[in-house]
Chain A
């Protein structure tokens, strides 16, 4: 027998009570793990590459278009390596309530800039670049609708009208399937050629919804962005340029202060667990007053008794917390695909924070009982007076 087995024996002397405590702690860390995963997902919107890309939008709002001529003017700015642009198509397939993210893009430059995000078979890529009415779709979208490469797909827009037919529907040929090229990427969208868009829409021709820029040196992003915005200042369409990541996060912030809500919920959950576990530990140690008195009588030093009690609460915290964290990680990976948020995972940083919180929880709930055990007087503990 070791001190560890003594701690275990103490901990499981009340199996039901310990099991209930473990459940409470498990749930707290399950909640923590889940919400930390969501926070991680929000923090990593667009993936790592997004930090090295800039997005230029109309300063009034990103839904307002810019003249397409801006693209070439930006290409001439020093420090800009690649430029591409896209228009929001407002696409849907048969059911107008189910919007499919669809972009009309300058295909060659777009695929070049997103080379680390979009993976496509070389022959499909070549077919896309050479097919005027070709489109490529993310694998999940194609599977959802049962599309195969070579299929003729009628896609509608909830904004534009096709001047060739007078309807809102365009005919496309599916020429390629996109897969994520990295773990952070999620090409859950449809791309088609801006030329096809431009020649067939009744309005919105020769505009760029947003412009994507790859800079030569991410350290110069700020300077490049300032230079671009200065170039279009006082024109009818002023611009606002930021990193793709900052842009994505500013958009998410519009949903509400999610971080604040997460902090409150996690705080409430932990306060609950702290109260419950702290109380129970105090109760457990109080019930063992006599046994602790006996151990002291046998000659166990105060420090060792202190460590035994503190060890018990730390162990309880870890035994409940680690499985909770594990369950959260499993749950996150299960829903990651469904939600399509690649960053939705328990990052090592958050797992580390969780373990620190477990230790803190174990320490906080155990410190007072352990101190009381340390100070326990044998004569009173054993009722020998």
Chain B
């Protein structure tokens, strides 16, 4: 209890004298805030990207692509294969007995990013009549669905916001063909919101793709259906298609980009943290030096070295926590929810929102506390070992 009282007394003296060392203390706070800010900006970008991809795709929809193609854009599927897949077991059928299936074409067209004015790869997806039925959660937020057989397209709302020229009612040119935007759709912030959709037969003809497709989507009856479809595809030499659930397919797309952002963010933040640590150590050493007379006087009265140690450490931790909170708050205010885009593994732009999660803030605070702890512990050790005679020394 006595020790606690001592610690409280010393900490109070330290913290109350903070305003006297305003600038050095402020520099520590700002330094830690910037470290936390840089780290969180990168991590929130990675988290936002990951969230968008992991929020895309349904577990009960299967995607079939040419084996080895990895991405929708690489795959090639013939009309015959589409017909064969329609006979596969385990897929949901419509009341008339025909399969719920959408054979799709995925071509890349150029768009212009609003924020930078630079060219960007955008996906134009030709979908079949059942396409929307295989996209649970999709809603038209403006306009109407494209009319089959026409040069009409609908665009994802994220794409429409991020890239120029995709507003409702506008016309866009892809090569020599002109398309009219008749609707804007939302789909729970998923990757699909970064796409342009049109009638697959029109896309086939205007892009000279004959009767070829790239992917097939079907709805599965139950969890076991995936294996049934796989076995069906394996068993027919005309198919040999790779079958994955849509959810797994998109989840697998995030790792590369997320790792790249994280591998850039952490070393940068740690390097900056070392710089901030140097500053924190300096601030605390000078704080101890400035209070050496007070500390020594307290020691004269009978205070223990422990209280001087903890009081100093606490001061450093308080500065670091304040800095960390300011950094996190700044990222939250400036970037959280802001939308941006990058090239996904499918070779097209994916629009995502920067997402600051509590887990990330916790990680960043650990880094801030680390700076405060190391930046405080050595000066605290010096404070605890300060010669008591310093109380009498002439200044």
A and B touch in the complex (CB under 8 A): yes
The answer to the question of B108 belonging to the interface, with a C-beta cut-off of 8 Å to chain A, is yes
Among residues of A, the one whose C-beta sits closest to the C-beta of B286 is: A283
A275 x B109 contact (CB < 8 A): no
| Interchain CA distance A111-B150 in the complex, whole Å | 45
Interface residues of A in 10-38 (CB under 8 A from B): 16-17, 20-21, 23-24, 27-28, 30-31
The answer to the question of A235 belonging to the interface, with a C-beta cut-off of 8 Å to chain B, is yes
B30-38, B185-193, B220-228, B312-320 - the one binding chain A:
B30-38
B174 x A60 contact (CB < 8 A): yes
Separation in Å of the B193 CB from the closest CB of chain A?
Answer: 18
Which listed residue, B41, B115, B285, touches A16 by the CB 8 Å rule? B285
| Interchain CA distance A2-B362 in the complex, whole Å | 52
The answer to the question of B68 belonging to the interface, with a C-beta cut-off of 8 Å to chain A, is yes
Among residues of B, the one whose C-beta sits closest to the C-beta of A19 is: B278
The answer to the question of A256 belonging to the interface, with a C-beta cut-off of 8 Å to chain B, is yes
> Which residues of chain A are near B347, meaning CB under 8 Å?
63
| Given A58-B175, A96-B70, also A30-B27 (CB < 8 A) | no
B285 x A17 contact (CB < 8 A): yes
| Interchain CA distance A64-B212 in the complex, whole Å | 15
B207 x A254 contact (CB < 8 A): no
A60 x B282 contact (CB < 8 A): no
| Interchain CA distance A21-B283 in the complex, whole Å | 11
| Given A59-B175, A255-B342, also A27-B110 (CB < 8 A) | no
> Which residues of chain A are near B120, meaning CB under 8 Å?
254
Interface residues of A in 224-267 (CB under 8 A from B): 234-238, 250, 253-257, 264-265
The answer to the question of B138 belonging to the interface, with a C-beta cut-off of 8 Å to chain A, is no
B67 x A27 contact (CB < 8 A): no
B269-277, B292-300, B301-309 - the one binding chain A:
B269-277
B76 x A158 contact (CB < 8 A): no
| Given A59-B175, A64-B108, also A161-B76 (CB < 8 A) | yes
| Interchain CA distance A268-B276 in the complex, whole Å | 11
Per-position contact with B for A145-171: 1 when CB-CB < 8 Å, else 0? 000000000001011110000001000
B23 x A282 contact (CB < 8 A): yes
Per-position contact with A for B46-87: 1 when CB-CB < 8 Å, else 0? 000000000000000000001111110111100000000000
Among residues of B, the one whose C-beta sits closest to the C-beta of A35 is: B268
Among residues of B, the one whose C-beta sits closest to the C-beta of A57 is: B110
> Which residues of chain A are near B118, meaning CB under 8 Å?
250, 253-254
B70 x A158 contact (CB < 8 A): yes
A272 x B272 contact (CB < 8 A): yes
Among residues of B, the one whose C-beta sits closest to the C-beta of A236 is: B176
| Interchain CA distance A254-B350 in the complex, whole Å | 10
B69 x A28 contact (CB < 8 A): no
A276 x B272 contact (CB < 8 A): no
> Which residues of chain A are near B116, meaning CB under 8 Å?
253, 257
Separation in Å of the B370 CB from the closest CB of chain A?
Answer: 16
| Given A21-B278, A63-B108, also A30-B70 (CB < 8 A) | no
> Which residues of chain B are near A99, meaning CB under 8 Å?
70
B278 x A23 contact (CB < 8 A): yes
> Which residues of chain A are near B27, meaning CB under 8 Å?
275-276, 278-279
> Which residues of chain A are near B107, meaning CB under 8 Å?
60-61, 63-64
The answer to the question of A92 belonging to the interface, with a C-beta cut-off of 8 Å to chain B, is yes
Per-position contact with B for A87-107: 1 when CB-CB < 8 Å, else 0? 000101000110100000000
| Interchain CA distance A166-B268 in the complex, whole Å | 49
> Which residues of chain A are near B342, meaning CB under 8 Å?
254-256
Q: How large is the interface on B (under 10, 10 to 19, 20 to 34, 35 or more residues)?
A: 35 or more
A64 x B207 contact (CB < 8 A): yes
A238 x B271 contact (CB < 8 A): no
Which listed residue, B31, B69, B281, B343, touches A20 by the CB 8 Å rule? B281
| Given A60-B175, A272-B276, A282-B23, also A254-B349 (CB < 8 A) | yes
> Which residues of chain B are near A97, meaning CB under 8 Å?
70
Among B119, B212, B349, chain A packs the most CB atoms within 10 A around the CB of B119
Per-position contact with B for A276-292: 1 when CB-CB < 8 Å, else 0? 10111011000000000
Separation in Å of the A111 CB from the closest CB of chain B?
Answer: 27
A271 x B34 contact (CB < 8 A): yes
The answer to the question of A141 belonging to the interface, with a C-beta cut-off of 8 Å to chain B, is no
| Interchain CA distance A61-B119 in the complex, whole Å | 10
The answer to the question of B151 belonging to the interface, with a C-beta cut-off of 8 Å to chain A, is no
| Given A64-B108, A268-B34, A279-B27, also A254-B121 (CB < 8 A) | yes
| Interchain CA distance A28-B276 in the complex, whole Å | 10
Separation in Å of the B343 CB from the closest CB of chain A?
Answer: 4
Separation in Å of the B60 CB from the closest CB of chain A?
Answer: 26
B274 x A27 contact (CB < 8 A): yes
The answer to the question of B90 belonging to the interface, with a C-beta cut-off of 8 Å to chain A, is no
Among residues of A, the one whose C-beta sits closest to the C-beta of B260 is: A255
> Which residues of chain A are near B30, meaning CB under 8 Å?
271-272, 275
A272 x B275 contact (CB < 8 A): yes
> Which residues of chain A are near B115, meaning CB under 8 Å?
257
A60 x B349 contact (CB < 8 A): no
Separation in Å of the A168 CB from the closest CB of chain B?
Answer: 6
| Given A253-B116, A268-B37, also A168-B68 (CB < 8 A) | yes
| Interchain CA distance A144-B74 in the complex, whole Å | 25
| Given A254-B343, A275-B30, also A234-B176 (CB < 8 A) | yes
| Interchain CA distance A161-B212 in the complex, whole Å | 14
> Which residues of chain B are near A17, meaning CB under 8 Å?
282, 285
The answer to the question of B171 belonging to the interface, with a C-beta cut-off of 8 Å to chain A, is no
| Given A253-B118, A271-B34, also A23-B275 (CB < 8 A) | yes
> Which residues of chain B are near A24, meaning CB under 8 Å?
274-276, 278-279
B24 x A283 contact (CB < 8 A): yes
Among residues of B, the one whose C-beta sits closest to the C-beta of A16 is: B285
| Interchain CA distance A250-B113 in the complex, whole Å | 11
The answer to the question of B98 belonging to the interface, with a C-beta cut-off of 8 Å to chain A, is no
| Interchain CA distance A269-B35 in the complex, whole Å | 8
| Given A237-B175, A253-B118, A268-B272, also A276-B278 (CB < 8 A) | yes
List the 3 shortest-distance A-B pairs measured between CB atoms, nearest first. A276-B279, A275-B27, A24-B278
What are 15 sample pairs from A and B whose C-beta atoms fall under 8 A apart?
A21-B282, A24-B275, A96-B69, A158-B71, A236-B176, A238-B176, A256-B340, A256-B342, A265-B38, A271-B30, A271-B34, A275-B26, A275-B31, A275-B279, A276-B276
Besides A269-B275, A275-B30, 15 other CB < 8 A contacts? A16-B285, A20-B279, A59-B175, A60-B207, A63-B108, A64-B108, A158-B71, A159-B75, A161-B76, A237-B175, A254-B120, A256-B340, A268-B38, A272-B34, A280-B282
B residues near A (Cβ < 8 Å) are 23-24, 26-27, 30-31, 34-35, 37-38, 41, 66-71, 73-76, 107-110, 115-116, 118-121, 174-176, 207-208, 212, 268, 271-272, 274-276, 278-279, 281-283, 285-286, 340-343, 347, 349
A residues near B (Cβ < 8 Å) are 16-17, 20-21, 23-24, 27-28, 30-31, 58-61, 63-64, 90, 92, 96-97, 99, 156, 158-161, 168, 203, 234-238, 250, 253-257, 264-265, 268-269, 271-273, 275-276, 278-280, 282-283
